[in-house]
Amino acid sequence: MNERYDVCVIGAGHNGLVCASLLAKAGKKVLVLEANDQVGGAAVTRTFADGFSVSACAHLLYQLQPQVRKELGLKFELSGDAIGTIALSPDGKHVRMNGKQVTGTSDEDAASYRDFCRRMTRFADLLKTYLNKTPPRLSKDASKADFLTLGQLGLDIRRLGRVEMQELLRIIGMNIFDELNERFENGVLRGALSLDAVLGTHLGPRSPNTILTYLYRLAGSHGTISAPAGGMSTVAEALAHCARDRGATIRTGMPVKRIIIENGRVAGVQTENGEQFSSRLVVSNADPKSTIMCLVSTRNVETGFARRIHNIRMRGNAAKMHLALDGLPAIDGVEEQEYGERFVVAPDDVYVERAFNAAKYGETSDKPVFEITFPSFRDQSLAPDGKHVMSAIVQYAPYSLKEGWSDAARQSFLDTAIDCLGEFMPDLKQKIVASEMLTPADIEKQFLITGGHWHHGELALDQFLFTRPVGGAQQYAMPLDGLYLCGAGAHPGGGISGAAGRNAAREILKREKAA
């Protein structure tokens, strides 16, 4: 017999859990079905070698929306807060950044950096307001509320003041390379900032709209980075706890096979093992492509919509490297106590752009760029005594690798990455006990994200706000009665932010009340 629920949530990613919690809080009977054995989706801690654990996909927290924390009463322990960044330079003249402060550059650059941060955080704050709202419709169905939101957006931009408004409109579609080159003479600083703008995307610093991706990164806590104790599963478990506390049922190891559709509307879900669950509403935390192409099947939606979904750009480019280490590798010019910081290998912006060049042609970068942390330095629970873990995002490793992602291709990219790091960490190779490289193809398979793209779709102006995931479906409701999206593929996008899950829950409750 089918179990009946009000809402089935597909996927216990952090957004799915946020959404489930809020729906359960509003009195809905909620079932969350997670394919993997752990909750959290891409926010999980996993053991990758005997005694060594690591946040297997997302590894730093900088976007979790304060609204989400507050509304859910979310509490978890941090192993590090206000984590600074050390941008490594081959000549040892590293640049250190924390908040609006930068050291290791000229005084002019430092002053310019303060000004840059001030302006960017101001724009990011404006953006943040709208990340936490349902985007307005622009179609003929637009309601009064849509026009109000749109009007408010216009007004908020105007209220920046004439100069700032012009500046925002000047740079919002621009590439970060030009902006950084106008401001800073220090290449290492430019490299580090441009890396922040392109992490997890199929973009280089010279690609248009990399200012937007940079602002998006700041639109949570102004870029303040923290790390949960015990890795990302701590956040996921805390969210799952919230959901269960409010009455939601969470079942792991239950991959959903399809969304059941009856008489042109959703009627529940069927899992791979054949179990069926009835519900009037289905909320998918899966990416828009898997939701529509696999779970719903294109034949149950309109052709134009299916085409738009099909054409969403979501080619992952970021690989995740995990190294189990005998001890911390020496880094020239870095003090022992600084290993809790975030390290960046992107010696200048042209270097980052060149790394991206290969990806355009389906090749991996010869000289990839890195975002590196040693989580075990802050959090002893992740590695055996005296040993350490390195967690690094390595770019670029295109999802559609020309030669295909074989074991050999993966090994070769791992070797390239380790060799590259050897330049900064001469004794790294000797310290490696075990290693793991997750290519976008692996990320797709293990975390069930089409294209292995963290954001569930490139964060670009044409896939943002009114047109995320696609035009006509920006308000979480899909053009199939009863089906909603609540993941990163919906507005506003990826990162451990919870905004999509929260917005979706609010929209669902609003529509349910109106119906």
Please say whether the beta carbons of 473 and 40 come within 8 A: no
Q: Does 300 bind another protein (CB under 8 A)?
A: yes
CB of 398 to another protein, least distance (A): 23
Please say whether the beta carbons of 192 and 348 come within 8 A: no
Nearer to another protein, 162 or 299 (CB): 299
Nearest to 194 by CA among 182, 206, 202: 206
Please give the single-letter amino acid code of residue 344: V
CB of 308 to another protein, least distance (A): 9
Distance of alpha carbon 132 from alpha carbon 145, whole angstroms: 15
Tokens of 161: 């003041």
- Pattern of binders to another protein over 255-294, x per CB under 8 A? ------x-xx----------------------------x-
- Backbone φ and ψ for 249, nearest 5 degrees, come out as -100, 130
Tokens of 420: 């590259």
- DSSP letter (8 states) at residue 484: E
From 40-48, 237-245, 297-305, 410-418, span contacting another protein (CB under 8 A): 297-305
CB of 483 to another protein, least distance (A): 12
Please say whether the beta carbons of 20 and 9 come within 8 A: yes
Distance of alpha carbon 480 from alpha carbon 264, whole angstroms: 7
Nearer to another protein, 263 or 337 (CB): 263
Q: Does 360 bind another protein (CB under 8 A)?
A: no
Give the footprint of another protein on residues 122-141 (CB under 8 A).
140
Q: Does 303 bind another protein (CB under 8 A)?
A: yes
Nearer to another protein, 264 or 274 (CB): 264
Distance of CA 363 to the CA centre of its chain: 23
Quick one: which of 297, 381, 406, 430 contacts another protein (CB under 8 A)? 297
- For the chain, how far is it from start to end, CA to CA, in angstroms? 28
Tokens of 41: 């989706």
Tokens of 251: 């079942």
CB of 285 to another protein, least distance (A): 21
- Pattern of binders to another protein over 78-97, x per CB under 8 A? --------------------
Quick one: which of 306, 346, 401, 448 contacts another protein (CB under 8 A)? 306
Q: Does 310 bind another protein (CB under 8 A)?
A: yes
CB of 296 to another protein, least distance (A): 9
Q: Does 158 bind another protein (CB under 8 A)?
A: no
- Pattern of binders to another protein over 458-497, x per CB under 8 A? --------------x------x------------------
Nearer to another protein, 83 or 292 (CB): 292
Question: To which residue do tokens 């790390």 refer?
Answer: 227
Question: To which residue do tokens 């696999």 refer?
Answer: 294
- Backbone φ and ψ for 367, nearest 5 degrees, come out as -120, 85
Nearest to 453 by CA among 477, 469, 472, 434: 469
Nearer to another protein, 144 or 299 (CB): 299
State the residues that interact with another protein by CB under 8 A: 140, 261, 263-264, 293, 297-307, 310, 472, 479
